A = this chain, B = another copy of it.
Amino acid sequence: MRKDKISNAVIRRIPRYYRHVDDLYYNGVVRISSSSLGRIMGLTASQIRQDLSCFGEFGQQGYGYNVEKLRSEIAEVLGMNKQYKIIIIGAGNLGRALIQNFYFAKSGFILDAAFDVASDVINTEINGVHVHHIDALEDYVVECKPDVAVLTVPRSVAQKTAERLVGLGVRGLWNFTNIELNIRDANVKIEDVHFADSLLTLSYMIANRDTP
């Protein structure tokens, strides 16, 4: 039984829960108490219990959490079993880095195409993923109905590429362009990866390291 309204902060923590519980699972841990999980994650036991209770009754008093069950329930909450189809728009350095090094399948996504405009990459394969000309996008989307597009295009074409994808019915955008996309459709979900926010957080930590 899920609560109707889950706060954004909790939602942001779920992937972290998955990551840690997944590690435990692969390390052969069968069950774990909320206090042990809290120690690993730097959260209090009561925070853990409160967060996880948003998604259902996972734990059992005096026993803790069954790691395998917790892992599969969090995966379900995250939609990892939906087999969402994902495509990459922009096979430059960043797009290529994602295709070669990021395990889409481990997050439950099926990556099966990339698109670009540069003639030297079109019709090549990167890590088994075919790179199509961007002009083939319309036909591809109509036929394959990808759920999510990764935007690794230059920022100058980010907004218009996003609109083109949304116009074709793509309803999830993973945005690496550093542009705040302006899409007024509540059904389109956008997740921005802001490298600068991350680096500035590190800058803050360093700058304030030696102050008491």
Prevailing SS type, chain A contact patch = helix
CB distance from A101 to the nearest CB of B (A): 7
Tell yes or no: A183 within 8 A of B by CB.
Answer: no
The answer to whether A203 and B100 have CB atoms under 8 Å apart is no
User: Which residues of A (187-212) have their CB < 8 Å from a CB of B?
Assistant: 187, 189-191, 193-209, 212
Tell yes or no: A137 within 8 A of B by CB.
Answer: no
Tell yes or no: A160 within 8 A of B by CB.
Answer: no
Residue of B with least CB distance to A196: B107
The answer to whether B101 and A93 have CB atoms under 8 Å apart is yes
The answer to whether A198 and B187 have CB atoms under 8 Å apart is no
CB distance from A129 to the nearest CB of B (A): 13
CB distance from A61 to the nearest CB of B (A): 27
Q: Give the contact-size bracket for chain A.
A: 35 or more
Tell yes or no: A19 within 8 A of B by CB.
Answer: yes
Bound CA–CA A96/B208 (angstroms): 30
The answer to whether A93 and B84 have CB atoms under 8 Å apart is no
The answer to whether A207 and B78 have CB atoms under 8 Å apart is yes
CB distance from A147 to the nearest CB of B (A): 6
Tell yes or no: A172 within 8 A of B by CB.
Answer: yes
Residue of B with least CB distance to A11: B204
Tell yes or no: A58 within 8 A of B by CB.
Answer: no
CB distance from A34 to the nearest CB of B (A): 20
Tell yes or no: A174 within 8 A of B by CB.
Answer: yes
Tell yes or no: A184 within 8 A of B by CB.
Answer: no
Residues of A within 8 A of B (CB): 4, 9, 11-12, 14-16, 18-19, 77-80, 82, 84, 92-94, 96-98, 100-104, 106-109, 147-148, 171-172, 174, 187, 189-191, 193-209, 212
The 4 closest A-B pairs by CB, nearest first: A79-B207, A93-B97, A15-B200, A191-B202
